[in-house]
Amino acid sequence: MRSLPQPPGEPDSRSADRYLLWLARREWRSLLWASLLLGTYTVGTVLLSASVGAALDAGIGDPRSLLTWFGILTALIAVGTAITPVLHRATCFNWYASAYRTVQVVTRRSVDLGPTLTRRLPSGEVVAVGTEDIDQVAALYEDAVFGAAGIAGTVAAGAFMLTAHTDLGLVVLVAVPLIMLGVVPVLRPLARRQDHQRTRQAELTTRATDLVAGLRVLRGVGGEHAVGERYRAESQYVRAAGVRVGWMDAALSALRELYPGLLLIGIVWYGARLALAGEITVGQLVAFYGYTLNLAAAVRHLMYFTSRYISARVAAGRVVRILGLVHDLPDPDEPAEAPAGLCGLSDPAGGVSAPAGLVTGVVCADPADATATADRLGRYRDGDTLLVDGAGHAVHLRDLPLREVRRRVLVADNTAHLFSGPLREELSPDGGLSEERLAEVVHAAAAEDVVRRSPEGWDAVLTERGREYSGGQQQRLRLARALALDPEILVLVEPASAVDAHSEAAVAERLAAERAGRTTVLLTTSPLLLDRTDRVQFVEGGRVVAEGTHRELLATVPRYAETVLRTAFDEEGP
Amino acid sequence: MIPATEDAARLPIASGETVLRRLRRIGRRHGAALTGVVALYGVAALAALVPPWMLGRIVDAVRAGAEPGRVDTAAALVVAALVVHAVFTLLSVALSVRFGEGVLAELREGFVRAVLHLPVGTVERAGTGDLVARAGRDIGHLSHTVRESVPVMVVSGVTVAVFLGAIGVLHPALLLAWVPSAALIWFSTRWYVRRAPDGYLRELNTYSDLTQGVTDTVEGARTLEALGRQDRQVARTDERVRRAYLAERYTLWLRCAWYPNLDFAYMFPVAATLLAGGVLYARDALSAGEVATAVFLAVQLSGPLEHLIDEVDSLMQGYTSLRRLLGVELAEEETGPPAAGGGPPGRVEIEGVRFGYTGAEVLHGIDLVLRPGERLAVVGPSGAGKSTLGKLVAGIHAPDAGTIRVGGADMAALPPRARREKVILLSQESHVFRGTVAENLALALDRTEADPALLWKALAAVGAEEWVRALPEGLDTRVGSGNRDLDPAHVQQLALARVVLADPEVLVLDEATSLMDPRSARRLERSLSGVLSGRTVVAVAHRLHTAHGADRIAVVEEGRVVELGTHAELLARGGSYAALWHAWHGDT
């Protein structure tokens, strides 16, 4: 068995089927091997039926003959037993290989897409790929062998029956699939009801997890009784839906027993008449009974494979939707030469400019302007933003490769994702930062308490989105992460809005020293932070309307003072 | 601040005895239904014996050269038997589903009831992650076990028993063919069951790491690009794949060792039955037809037997989940009698309060008295213990030493409901429940429905009337996860409206507006001060203007109150508050 993961290769994302075919081609050897194994196993079970019949005809009263046939049967069973572990390894490998390959291609495509991914697809759908679709796709390849086994079983049993007695063989070959397919009409409404029940069950689970997620709030303001009642009502509804499905389920079980039973009786009855007429031997009659069981199993395998394929196709469709996307902001055909020295930014659209090497504060009266400005400065949307070096050489961000832009300009806002994993990796992903440097950035972000919070310190593990940390702690962690990266140009959006005044004052004091010799843009309305900037630009109505130091603006621009000091509130006074 | 999760803080897991006790209780209550299911299915399984039996009869008849007419009558009888079989299968499966769904509903409702009665302090300590996993994954596993595995096990178990019985009736010696199989199944399964749970636990962890990694990648794609971590994330994913694969290989090895034993155990009796049957035939103890019957009984027995053993894994998983679900019931809060409080409503007395989470003390002796209707702002650096003080006032944690009395009643001794009538804590963490806006508000009244006029009044009081009216269905608009997203300012307004409806004596605000953009925070605080007139308010503040508007300000540093007084007094003192205030206002 090869070791995994393998390099995934370039997926065919033109359609769900093409993707599934691509996956199958990547693993064709293993798929073929597994199919051969289960095919052999299935033929073995058919041979077992034939042997039982032959043993009866040869006469089981004779000890020699009996021992011979016992030996043959045991040998067949031993071969089957020997195949089992090899087959299991092969089918499991097919699951792993296709699941992991899908994970790999989805990850590779997602990182290439960046912000385009969540902009284009609803996040719920994207997350479902990680949780459900990978399973569904992989299950197809795990169970692909059932397709092969179904065919092998049908062919082997068919061949034996047709050689033994053409008419009886034909009857069985036609009747078995027909009767199995006869169950299909029941399957459809059952699937519909099961679907309905599953939706209700999912809704119930969502309600329970929702209730648990909000438990602290609930225990704080009350409402346990009301919420509990609502859950109970929903739960009873699911119970009732389950009981309704139960009747369908029961009917299906009954039919599943009845159909093959009738089939067997039919075969035995017809075979008995043939045997009485001397057309077939008793052993052949018994063998036919066995073939019928084999054939029913083969048809079941084929039906199972089909249902797997249908689910996998839906899942692959969702995978392909991600794989087929392209980045909203393509790289330029002919990238411009970027200035090599320390640069600043200039955004003609809003009039904001951040000279190289300084800390520039940008105050927006309307928070929407702050978001738009940050997006333009970091090229998250197309604009005319320029990268300007100390000597005044300028180049449009859109004329540079996106990776180059991201390398030089970092926009750190409060929606930035915190990744699960050890705390240290979040700040120093490749272990490149020394303990002293880590301590420095954590100090600059006033985030010492975040590291101290867990006894494991730097080795504490962040769970999903750093949820166990408070809003203020998450914010300072994001700030520390941005500072640790030490980008040439750093655009910070309200980096301390959820932080207490004491820590905010500490951040304000330390930020300028931490960013010395780099370019920094601070989009904020906090007077503590603004007081430590080199200059401040005030944006109203999407344009810079005033510019100066924080104190100059406080003294001369009343709207500015109002925005940063919230004097409106003070009027109501104590 | 939430304390670090330590083992002592974890939610309990029920012992095997507790689970057994509960299962016995269910068994007693639903005993009749359970027996009915087994009996009905037993009848159904008897009918399944008919085809192999008839095969044998016909074999004998053919060998004896019987009339074709006898075969026809036998066939007609058998068809009738099969129909009986189908009807009984129908009834028994339907009954078992009904039973299973009932038990399932009972268990999950019991779990939710227990969750709703968990002490807030326990939830705070354990975090919600574990509970979310129990509410989601464990209920899911249990549902699978009850819906899929238990019926399969009942049906297969009964079938196996009936078939073995039939073989025994044909000739007891035929049962010897099953002895090696029984031993093989018993020992190999025991070997497997002892090793599997640890292996699967490890596998589950690496697998959820892997899927969490995919979720992280797709949700954080923008951040990955911003930080230039694309290549690293790809490498990290490959590493996770490698680890998942290693964990899978262990359980794969276990199964590869277990399965051949099972496979041989299912199939070998076919050969052994032929041998035993042949020997008995030679001694005239069985006819050739009976040998054929015995062989095919063995063939048809292997299926149910396989199903039975296959469910062992799922049964173990269901058992583990049940232990985790029932464990929550062990942590339920006992509600004592409501303590009498005879003081003036709204008066808060904090006396010599000390408190620590696990080990380290956070508050080192706090004394404070708030008169009814007073607004106190608590400021101080992160980790100083401001939020902890707020939680103690709200009765979420009981002080290690000292007392907190609200309106004369000791908070630590009050049952939750009475506690909430006195104090409500509103933090920056808020939650919109799945449901309508009206349902979200009515929680505060602990009702599912409430007079819309009342709700509108509360919404107006917090300045939320306008945007709620603008929603497509007003109060009936569905919000919360999976529904319409509300922006953080609106979420916080809903939380405040709940407080208005609950109308407590004392309100603790723990940085309740800190996640909003400054403009919305300002607007909200303005409407709040109107709503809260007459209420005692403890506001843990990070924005100085909030402190400025308070009657008194307490500066907490390192677990102690270091400055206390009005805004003017503290400015005059020239301490740390004054320094901050000047920095804020840009005067030096």
The CA distance from B509 to B423, in Å, is 11
ipTM: 0.85
Cβ distance of A228 and B113 shorter than 8 Å: yes
Least-confidence region, from A183-192, B375-384, B572-581? A183-192
Q: What angle do CA B149, A134, A463 make, to 5 degrees?
A: 90
Chain B positions in Cβ-Cβ contact with residue A211 (cut-off 8 Å) = 112, 115-116, 135, 433
B430 pLDDT above the threshold of 80: no
Please report how the helices A28-58 and A63-113 are oriented relative to each other, as an axis angle in degrees rounded to 10.
160
Same domain, A318 and A366: no
Interval B59-104: pLDDT, tens? 888 888 777 777 788 788 888 888 888 888 888 888 888 888 888 8
| CATH code of the domain in which A291 resides | 1.20.1560.10
The residue with greater pLDDT, A402 or B55, is A402
What SS3 state is found at A310? helix
B464 pLDDT above the threshold of 90: no
Rg (CA), chain B: 35
Residue-level pLDDT at B511: 76
From A340's Cα to the closest Cα of chain B, the distance in A is: 19
A574 pLDDT above the threshold of 50: no
Q: What is the average pLDDT across B385-414?
A: 86
Residue A9 belongs to some domain of the structure = no
Residue-level pLDDT at B6: 40
Interval A206-259: pLDDT, tens? 788 788 878 877 877 777 888 888 889 989 998 998 888 888 878 877 887 787
Cβ distance of A5 and B241 shorter than 8 Å: yes
From A23's Cα to the closest Cα of chain B, the distance in A is: 17
What SS3 state is found at B304? helix
Average pLDDT of chain A, as a whole number: 86
User: How sure is the predictor about A485, in pLDDT bands with cuts at 50, 70 and 90?
Assistant: very high
Q: Which two tokens stand for residue A521?
A: 């843009």
From A444's Cα to the closest Cα of chain B, the distance in A is: 14
Q: What is the average pLDDT across A281-295?
A: 87
Residue A3 belongs to some domain of the structure = no
Strands B375-379 and B423-427: unpaired
Which residues form the domain of A135? 16-323
Same domain, A126 and A228: yes
Same domain, A297 and A374: no
B339 pLDDT above the threshold of 70: no
Residue A334 belongs to some domain of the structure = no
Residue A81 belongs to some domain of the structure = yes
Boundary of a domain, candidates A323, A357, A375: A323
| CATH code of the domain in which A429 resides | 3.40.50.300
Residue A2 belongs to some domain of the structure = no
DSSP states along B4-45: PP-GGGSPP---HHHHHHHHHHHHHHTHHHHHHHHHHHHHHH
User: How sure is the predictor about A570, in pLDDT bands with cuts at 50, 70 and 90?
Assistant: very low
Same domain, A363 and A288: no
Same domain, A359 and A315: no
Residue-level pLDDT at A200: 79
B73 touches chain A (CB under 8 A): no
Same domain, A348 and A229: no
Q: Which two tokens stand for residue B32?
A: 């009749």
Residue-level pLDDT at B359: 60
Same domain, A205 and A72: yes
Interval B294-319: pLDDT, tens? 998 998 898 899 989 988 878 888 88
Q: Which residues pair with A406 in a beta bridge?
A: none
**Structure pTM?**
0.79
Interval A291-302: pLDDT, tens? 888 888 888 888
From B16's Cα to the closest Cα of chain A, the distance in A is: 25
Cβ distance of A527 and B586 shorter than 8 Å: yes
User: How sure is the predictor about A346, in pLDDT bands with cuts at 50, 70 and 90?
Assistant: very high
Count the neighbouring beta carbons within 10 Å of the beta carbon of residue A333: 6
The residue among A498, A251, A556, A523 whose CA lies nearest residue B510 is A498
Q: What is the average pLDDT across B396-416?
A: 86
> What single letter denotes the amino acid at residue A307?
S
Task: Check residue A497 and report its DSSP letter.
Answer: T
Contact (Cβ atoms closer than 8 angstroms) between residue A523 and residue A370: yes
Q: What is the average pLDDT across B488-513?
A: 84
| Share above pLDDT 70 across residues of chain B, in percent, rounded to a whole number | 93
Same domain, A295 and A436: no
**Window 207-236 of A, Cβ < 8 Å to B:** 207-232, 235-236
**Window 275-304 of B, Cβ < 8 Å to A:** 275, 277-279, 281-282, 288, 291-292, 295-296, 299-300
What SS3 state is found at A538? strand
Same domain, A180 and A274: yes
Cα B549 → chain centroid:
43
Residue-level pLDDT at B1: 33
The residue among A214, A268, A307, A312 whose CA lies nearest residue A53 is A268
Residue-level pLDDT at B8: 45
Residue A328 belongs to some domain of the structure = no
Cβ distance of B275 and A265 shorter than 8 Å: no
Residue-level pLDDT at B333: 63
Cβ distance of A468 and B5 shorter than 8 Å: yes
Residue A522 belongs to some domain of the structure = yes
Chain B positions in Cβ-Cβ contact with residue A227 (cut-off 8 Å) = 116, 433, 443
Same domain, A272 and A209: yes
From B165's Cα to the closest Cα of chain A, the distance in A is: 20
The CA distance from A177 to B75, in Å, is 22
Same domain, A265 and A349: no
Taking one residue from A and the other from B, the number of pairs with CB-CB distance under 8 angstroms is 548
Chain B positions in Cβ-Cβ contact with residue A265 (cut-off 8 Å) = 51, 54, 75, 78-79, 82
Which one of B217, B487, B548, B551 makes the best mutation probe of the A interface by having the most chain A beta carbons within 10 Å?
Answer: B217
| Share above pLDDT 90 across residues of chain A, in percent, rounded to a whole number | 38
Residue A465 belongs to some domain of the structure = yes
Please report how the helices A501-514 and A435-444 are oriented relative to each other, as an axis angle in degrees rounded to 10.
130
Least-confidence region, from A406-410, B37-41, B367-371? B37-41
In chain A, the number of structural domains is: 2
Helix (H) or strand (E) holding A489: strand A489-493
A77 pLDDT above the threshold of 50: yes
Count the neighbouring beta carbons within 10 Å of the beta carbon of residue B198: 11
Residue-level pLDDT at A407: 92
Q: Which of B233, B279, B442 sits opposite A111 (nearest CB)?
A: B233
Interval B188-216: pLDDT, tens? 999 998 888 888 878 878 887 887 788 88
A406 pLDDT above the threshold of 80: yes
Residue-level pLDDT at A490: 96
Interval A105-144: pLDDT, tens? 999 999 999 888 878 876 666 666 766 788 889 999 999 9
Same domain, A348 and A265: no
